[in-house]
Amino acid sequence: MPRRLRSAALETRTARLKLAIRKKPYIARVGPGLRVAYRRNETGGSWSVIAADGKGGNWMKGFARADDHEEANGNDVLDFWQAQERARIIARGHRNPDADSGKPVTVGEAMDRYEADLKTRGGDAYNARRVWVHLSNALVSETVALIARSKFRSWRDGLVKKGLAASTVNRTIGALQAALELAATQDRRIANQDEWRKGLAALPDAEQSRNVIIPDDAVLRIIAAAYEENHHIGSLVEVAAVTGARVSQLARLEVGDVQGNRTDPRLMMPSARKGKGRKRIERRPVPIPASLVTTLKQASVGKPDEASLLTRADGAPWRHSDHRHPFERAVTRAGLDPAVVTIYALRHSSIVRQLLANTPIRVVAVQHDTSVVMLERTYSKYIADHSDALSRRGMLDTSRRVSEKVVNLKRNRAR
């Protein structure tokens, strides 16, 4: 029998290489009736898909090598997340999600459309995959227009019973809600939005910060180590550390966004595709040091203004998880734990650095393309430090006490 694992045991190269070499594959559930199988070999692992055949049995098909000893290329060498996506495509075959458009849409079909929509508009398809891992066969087949809130509530509570953190539960149910809302906009027969809005209500007190904040000397070590990898990942990491921008924003930077011929150089940073209805990408100026301008100018020699500013070694823009393995190696080389320090730690550290430097919170929010409310919710400890420093500027200094002698300021009246 193949050994069933939690997906975390297959998600990273480091975790997979700790598994014993054997002929029987290790498997992880990635959806209802769908498994990704990993075979640990002497020379390198391989990926297969195991899916239900609809007759009470299963079928298995190999499709790619694992990125155990070589970089994933999205084709014949895949990391876990790419393998998971390929497995779904193979399992679904060439099914057209619109072929049965006259039938009421199911939860599973709503998830398919949501994932396709994310890919079409350049969103993070992992938002859909995080839901698929936890969906049951029964819920997948439910008709969206008829499902009751009790089933949604039961599913949400089941995530808690699995041991998921409250913040993870909220992110997962939020993605499912987004899929159902999209389905409702495409099918006017779906009029029961209250069922999932109330059944999938967010858990209270879940916004406890797990953000990793690293000191400036550690950030500088990571940047240096990233450049030792190559200048492509080095440039990405340096810009991420300086601006605190998300990787999705950095991937959309163009050569023309560098405004270096100024006394106050800056980048015109694209906004993130976050929030309802945000379809147009806006650009906001973010200050950068002259040293970074020099680095970016050198990296963009000969490129037109509309070309991607930060690219992978093959010249293509960075995608969602392309940076993961080289960044992990850079973090390890810098003497830190890659299981703790992700590239998002650079963003968190940038925000905290500005807060502790007494930069107004509203300015910090604008520079990092977020809101004051989100900063207050996520970085409350550091905002308290920030506000404390500001308050002390106007504090009465009682050490400068005047003479104890009381002077009567009342003028003597003329007699």
Q: Please tell me the predicted confidence (pLDDT) of residue 131.
A: 92
How does pLDDT run across 158-179, given as a tens digit for each residue?
998 988 888 888 889 999 999 9
Q: Please report the pLDDT score of residue 3 as a whole number.
A: 55
Q: Quote the percentage of the chain above a pLDDT of 90.
A: 30
Q: Taking all residues of the chain, what is their mean pLDDT, rounded to a whole number?
A: 83
Between 105 and 329, the higher pLDDT residue: 329
Q: 3.30.1490, 3.30.160, 2.60.40, 1.10.150: which CATH number matches 3-92?
A: 3.30.160
Alpha helices in 200-258 (DSSP H): 216-229, 231-243, 247-250
Mean of the pLDDT values across residues 379-403?
Answer: 67
41-50, 140-149, 322-331, 380-389 — most confident range: 322-331
- CA 300 to each of CA 215, 247, 295: distance values in angstroms, whole numbers, following the listed order: 30, 18, 9
Structure tokens at 404: 């104890």
pLDDT value of position 227: 94
Rounded Cα distance between 236 and 252, Å, is 12
The CB density around residue 320, as the number of other CB atoms within 10 Å, is 15
Q: CB under 8 Å, gap of 24 or more: what pairs does 186-191 form? A: 186/105, 186/113, 187/104, 187/105, 187/144, 187/145, 189/104, 189/145, 190/105, 190/144, 190/145, 191/145
Neighbours of 330 (CB within 10 A): 26
CATH of domain 216-393: 1.10.443.10
The pLDDT of residue 410 is 58
**pLDDT for res 229:** 92
Comparing 390 with 174, which gets the higher pLDDT?
A: 174
First to last CA, the chain: 113
pLDDT digits (tens, 9 = 90+) for 93-146: 533 344 444 567 889 899 999 988 887 776 777 788 889 989 988 888 888 888
Distance CA 7, CA 47 (A): 13
Distance CA 71, CA 198 (A): 44
Q: Break the chain into its structural domains and give their ranges.
A: 3-92, 121-199, 216-393
Beta strands 3-4 and 26-31 are parallel
Q: Of the ranges 43-47, 191-195, 217-221, 394-398, which is most confident?
A: 217-221
Predicted pLDDT at 138:
83
β-bridge pairing 46-52 and 34-39: antiparallel
What distance in Å separates the CA atoms of residue 38 and residue 48, rounded to the nearest whole number? 6
Please tell me the distance from the alpha carbon of residue 236 to that of residue 246, in angstroms, as a whole number.
10
Task: List, in sequence order, every residue forming a beta bridge with 46; answer none if it has no partner.
Answer: 39, 65
Cβ 269 vs Cβ 257: under 8 Å: yes
Identify the CA nearest to 254 among candidates 238, 240, 270, 241. 270
Residue-level pLDDT at 273: 64
Report pTM: 0.55
What's the CA gap between 64 and 76, in Å, rounded? 5
Say if residue 41's pLDDT is above 80: yes
Q: Which of 46, 5, 9, 2 is nearest to 24 (CA)?
A: 2
Q: What is the pLDDT of residue 288?
A: 92
State pLDDT tens for residues 17-33.
888 888 889 998 887 77
| φ, ψ at 59 (rounded to 5°) | -125, 155
Which residues, 6 or more positions from 50, have their beta carbon under 8 angstroms from its beta carbon?
Answer: 2, 27, 34, 35, 36, 37, 58, 59, 60
How much is the average pLDDT of 48-63? 79
pLDDT tens readout for residues 353-371: 998 888 888 999 999 999 9
pLDDT score for 155: 93
Residues 331-357 have pLDDT tens digits of 999 999 988 898 999 999 999 899 888
Q: Write out the two tokens for 181.
A: 């809302």
Name the residue type at position 7: S
pLDDT tens sequence across 231-280: 999 999 999 999 999 998 998 899 999 998 888 999 999 987 654 444 56
At residue 28, what are phi and psi to the nearest 5 degrees? -135, 135
- DSSP conformation class of 39: E
CB 146 within 8 A of CB 104: yes
Q: Residue 96: what pLDDT?
A: 39
Q: Where are the beta strands (DSSP E) in 232-348?
A: 258-259, 266-270, 283-287
Phi, psi of 364 (to 5 degrees): -60, -40
Residue 1, both tokens? 């029998």
Long-range contacts from 15-18, C-beta under 8 angstroms, 24+ separation: 16/40, 16/45, 16/66, 16/68, 17/68
